Structure 1
Amino acid sequence: MSLQFLTPEESAIVDAALLTTPEKFLTRITISTAKLLGYIAKDLNEPIESLTNKQIIAWFEADSKRKQTEGVEASVLKWDATNLSDLPTE
């Protein structure tokens, strides 16, 4: 499953906002983070407000492992790193 973090429409709304460039950047990150946390909460069958840092980290680790073992298309986060040598092997 692929998650769209920021739609073109949402990006256009942020662009039109009366914000500085750093504020627009932070707004985009915040919108994207809210969507990702919602996805993680649904995936873990937990209310978003109940998610712990430990659960979020474990979710990222599981998605990273899925990417390493099954390929980028099997992961939620489609970040295709060309050099994965810095990833821990366990």
Structure 2
Amino acid sequence: MSQLPQSSDQFLTPEECAEVDATLMPARDRFTARVSIYSLRSLKQIAQAAGITIDTLTEQQIIDWVEQDPTLRPEDGFDPNFKRFFARLVISSLRPLKQIAQEADVAIEALTLSQVVSWFEKEAKARIDQGEDSTFQG
């Protein structure tokens, strides 16, 4: 099983992109999987900085971390609206990541790239089988 890298200086690694792209998921599901993979990396950093586990992070801790992230500076083109949007993406990713961890019977921090991608692939297939208007179970 592939481990998720700890570096946050890129959205996804070539390995992560290749694993997501190798699926037969629709584009929106591949996008959601990519966001969750990146969010997991960010959540690991936030939890580590706070000295707690991901499942005990509060929304406010996530928002505060995004607000203070030096890579999201206004001089680099990031405005407060983007920071709020990004914080919401990370917070929203917690729901499926918690579900994946629960189904895999591991801590969120221990999730692998393969586990995350496989879960999204399974959910996309179930949604398609049930009809396009369905969303993942949660």
Bin the TM-score by the shorter chain.
Answer: 0.5 to 0.7
For structure 1, which runs of at least 5 residues remain unmatched after alignment? Answer: 64-74
- Alignment of 1:81 with 2:77, yes or no, is yes
Pick one of 3, 8, 14 that aligns with 2:14.
8
Question: Residue 29 and residue 41 in structure 1: after superposition, are their counterparts in 2 closer, same or farther (change >3 A)?
Answer: same
Higher relative contact order, chain-length normalized (CA < 8 Å, sep 6+): 2
For structure 2, which runs of at least 5 residues remain unmatched after alignment? Answer: 1-6, 82-138
Q: Deviations over 1:48-89 (max 9, x none)?
A: 1110001111112222xxxxxxxxxxx24578207x597xxx
| SS of structure 2 residue aligned to 1:5 | coil
Q: Which structure 1 residue ranges, 4+ long, deviate > 6 Å from structure 2?
A: none
Identify, as 1 or 2, the structure richer in helix: 2
Is the 1:15–1:24 contact (alpha carbons within 8 Å) kept by the matching residues of 2? yes
The aligned residue for residue 53 of structure 2 is: 47
The CA RMSD measured in Å over matched residues stands at: 2.5
Aligned identity (percent) is 41
